Structure 1
Amino acid sequence: MNVNKVMLLGRLTRDPEVKYSTSGNAFCAWGMAINRYYNSENGERQQEVCFVDCKAFGRQAEIVGQYVAKGNPLFVEGRLSFYQYETENGERRNKLSVIAERIQLMGQNMFASLTDDSVLRSAPPENMEHPDEEAKEAQPQQASPETPTEGEVTDAEGLLSDGTADDIPF
């Protein structure tokens, strides 16, 4: 059994670039910075930053392009994609990127409530991992997260801002 699953929570390092294939399918690319904090052997707090390139397709790509900008926090769940290419100088290069299968737009408070449009699931059509190639049409599906009613703010555990759970029957 093999597993190819990635979950990232970080901030965009550049504005997303939305483009369309010749058949009209949207794709979007952006960079993310993910910080990791740890204590060194001598007890000093250290920071390590990992920079990751990400891609989304279909309606999900359009949403990222429309609602997310450089510096915004974003949660991405997806898979690693590896490809090789040749530079103009004839050098072979390798590249790893994350293909987003699920995204969550995050407010400045990482536990802000989600709206129906903020979480989507989609898979890129075949051949869309590399935007230069022709693609088939993607069919994104709306995820069905349990969202609070309008005006309610919940934290990550589904508790209302007053500390009560919204699904308690009494």
Structure 2
Amino acid sequence: MNIIGRLTRDAEIHRTPQDKQVVNFSVAINDSYRNKQGERIEQTSYFDCSYWISPNVAKMLAKGTLVELTGRVSTRAWTATNGELRSCLNFHTSTIKLHGGSKKIEHTQGSVQQEKTKIIIQEPADDLPF
């Protein structure tokens, strides 16, 4: 699945108890449509994103950056301490494209391709023959 949106906060790097690093960030996606009465309805969806491939990408993920992400969506639901039911959309990111950026980052585990206005960060290719 692909989504395009803007980061709502700077990316943060967290460590798991197994000493793996994950980059966490949030993306807002704006959508609009017309209802039966012809009124334009604006809707914003928020995704909590995680990127496990390389923590170096966090340097490029600043609030307001326009990104195109490839990955898979999941949901999470819980009950808050005040008893309110809560939920969120999670996006497990495998590819990040930065639109409008011109900086190149050091990325050792995957490949980085720099184009005129975007940087593409992808998972390393498998070396399996099948």
The answer, yes or no, to whether TM exceeds 0.5 is yes
TM-score when scaled to structure 1? 0.54
Q: Is the CA contact (8 Å cut-off) linking 2:9 and 2:64 kept in structure 1? A: yes
Equivalence for 1:17: 12
Superposition CA RMSD, Å: 3.0
Distance in 1, matches of 2:75 and 2:32, equals: 27
Q: Is the CA contact (8 Å cut-off) linking 1:76 and 1:100 kept in structure 2? A: yes
Equivalence for 2:56: 62
Q: Percent of aligned positions with the same letter in both sequences?
A: 27
Larger Rg: 1
Equivalence for 1:120: 122
Alpha-carbon distance, 1:72 to partner: 0.8
Residue identity in the other structure for 1:25: K
Distance in 1, matches of 2:38 and 2:77, equals: 41
Larger strand share, 1 or 2: 2
Equivalenced residue count is: 113
Change (3 A) 1:76 1:42: same
Alpha-carbon distance, 1:42 to partner: 3.1
Structure 1, 42-51 or 12-21: larger mean CA deviation: 42-51
Q: Is the CA contact (8 Å cut-off) linking 2:100 and 2:118 kept in structure 1? A: no
Q: Is the CA contact (8 Å cut-off) linking 1:87 and 1:93 kept in structure 2? A: yes
Distance in 2, matches of 1:26 and 1:102, equals: 16
Unaligned segments of structure 1, at least 5 residues: 1-5, 122-140, 143-170
Distance in 2, matches of 1:114 and 1:106, equals: 5
Describe the SS at the equivalent of 1:43: coil
Unaligned segments of structure 2, at least 5 residues: 102-114, 126-130
Matched, 1:98 2:84: no
Q: Is the CA contact (8 Å cut-off) linking 1:29 and 1:53 kept in structure 2? A: yes
